[in-house]
Structure 1
Amino acid sequence: MRAFLTFFILLLCNLHRAQEHSSSRATSAKEVSETDMSKSEENKKKLEPQLDIWEELRNLRDLVLEQAVDLRLLSAKLTESDSLVQVLQEEITVMKDRLTAAETLVEEMQMEGEAQSAELTMTQQKLDIVQERLLVNVAHVEELQEKQEVSKVAFSTSLLLTGEGFTYYPEFTTLVYKNVFTNIGNHYSPVTGYFTAPVRGVYYFRFTGQLAFNDNTIRLRLVKNEDPIVLSGDRVSEFDREDNVSNGAVLHLEINDVVAIQLGGYVWDDNYHRTTFSGFLLFAL
């Protein structure tokens, strides 16, 4: 653009010089030959195109000057745009730095969150272990409490609830001791005559029986789940009118094992409670 302006300015200067030279020549021709009118008219006709060219050149100069002004305005706007672009680039750089810092902060927060999550998971695992141990301890305590409750087992009975008399079974049959002195835990039944073990453990049992004033036989035996364990017996005669028998045993019982006394023959009981059956838990296993 600058080369174009320089070219037109030089062209205008040359045309101006040519115009001045032509004017000088015209003036000299007029002074030398004022009478030659035809020649003067001819020179005048030649100057008219030159004047038109000059006018066009002047218009062209004005147009070039206007374009130069527009060019300066455009250059100023371009400079302003360059400044604005530079400012925007600086702002973009600042935003990129902030975005990078934010991404770094997010990564740090994610790492911290993962660490906290891992710590929380570990804490939850420890809590689960503690809860399991607590449940085990609670179950153990409950078991101990149950054992402590069932460990309180003892009973003592006699055959007849009231009055006196003989009881006779030709074959071994379970005696039902109806007069209950003690029945802690209610594990002896005065309806069936059976003691039922509430807990696995070691128990002690004892029984007694009495017979008098006849010539018959007394036989008493301790049975565990209908299996005989110990037996005691005697026979009354004219030389021995009254006999007493007794026996006992320590038994290892499982839960729900049953123990009873069976009679084969005669036995006597009265208000003195001569025929008895007793037992208690020594310790649980």
Structure 2
Amino acid sequence: MSALLAELKVEMKYLQRENETQAAKVSVLELQKTELDKLKQQYQAQAGELVTIEARTNLTENQVEALKREGEVKQVAFSASLLAAGSGTVGPFNVATNLVFRYIATNIGNAYNPNTGFFIAPVRGGYHFELYIGAHGHASHPSGAVLVKNGQHIFTAYAHQPSYYGSSANGATLLLEVGDVVFLHLLSNARIFDDGNHYSTFSGHLLFTM
């Protein structure tokens, strides 16, 4: 009986140590689980911050792109002379005729079309235009052109002398809406001359947006 009791005591001590070991392992596992939960919470918080940062980055990129486009729109200016090359006289014609200025010195923003002679406003704002025209003197044919906005005559440049070279100029500041068209009409029975010196020109630029 004494031997059996001693054996039971030994076994109980072993089980007690085993229980203590298991309890320690459970404690470690609980601690690890707590740490894991903390790490999980931190990860979720960081993931949320990352989404916020990405959203802010996208917003910033969109704002930069919008500002870039706005800046590009504000850069509008052109200068062109009548003939692309060589020298010659255009006109006279029996009716007013659109003038197409084909030699491009500057066309920032590409608002002027050298194939049609039309300047089309890309943005609402104040624009300034200038026209310089001339031709060799003729008893019957003056040199003259009209600045036209959407079919409405604005200002005229006109010169008439029977001999030598005559020239004239004019300009205007116009409020244009997006899509408004500005161009030059050659007056009926009038002529306009140009050569490599670019005497006859049409220019315009955006002053400010509105």
Q: TM-score, normalised by structure 1?
A: 0.57
Deviation at 1:171, TM superposition (A): 4.3
Q: How does 1:107-126 map to 2 (within 5 A)?
A: 107-126=30-49
Supply the distance in 2 between the matched residues of 1:282 and 1:243 (Cα, whole angstroms).
27
CA distance in 2, matches of 1:229, 1:118: 72
Please give the alpha-carbon distance, in whole angstroms, between the structure 2 residues aligned to 1:170 and 1:98.
113
Aligned equivalents of 1:133, 1:229: Cα separation in 2: 50
Secondary structure in 1 matching 2:131: strand
Which residue of 138, 141, 144 corresponds with 1:213? 138
Match status 1:250 vs 2:200: no
Q: Which has the higher helix share?
A: 1
Residues of 2 paired with 1:235 and 1:278: CA distance?
19
Does residue 1:267 correspond to 2:191, yes or no? Answer: yes
The equivalent of 1:222 in structure 2 is 148
> Matched residues, percent identical?
26
Larger strand proportion, structure 1 or 2? 2
Aligned partner of 1:167 among 91, 95, 101: 91
Q: CA deviation at 1:278?
A: 0.2
- Structure 2 residue identity aligned to 1:138: E
Are residue 94 (structure 1) and residue 17 (structure 2) matched? yes
Shift of residue 131, structure 1, vs aligned partner: 2.7
SS of the equivalent of 1:190 reads coil
By how many angstroms is 1:148 displaced?
4.3
1:101 maps to a residue whose letter is A
The answer to which of 138-147 and 274-283 deviates more is 138-147
Higher relative contact order (CA 8 A, sep 6+): 2
For the Cα contact (< 8 Å) 1:213–1:242, is it kept in 2?
no
Q: Which amino acid aligns with 2:191?
A: V
Question: What 5-or-longer segments of structure 1 have no aligned partner?
Answer: 1-77
TM-score, length basis structure 2: 0.73
* Pair 91,280 (structure 1): closer, same or farther in 2 beyond 3 Å: same
**Higher CA-based Rg:** 1
Bigger drift between 214-223 and 84-93 goes to: 214-223
Deviation (angstroms), 1:176: 0.6
Of 109, 129, 132, which residue of structure 1 is paired with 2:52? 129
SS of corresponding position for 1:261: strand
Match of 1:278 among 203, 206, 209: 203
- Give distance in 2, aligned partners of 1:221 and 1:169: 17
- State the alpha-carbon separation in 2 of the partners of residues 95 and 202 from structure 1: 91
Worse overlay, 86-95 or 109-118:
86-95
Structure 1 residues 99 and 227, CA, compared in 2 at 3 Å: closer, same or farther? Answer: farther
Question: Quick one: distance in 1 between partners of 2:15 and 2:124?
Answer: 85
**1:274 CA drift (Å):** 4.4
In the alignment of these two chains, the number of paired residues is: 203
RMSD of aligned alpha carbons: 3.5
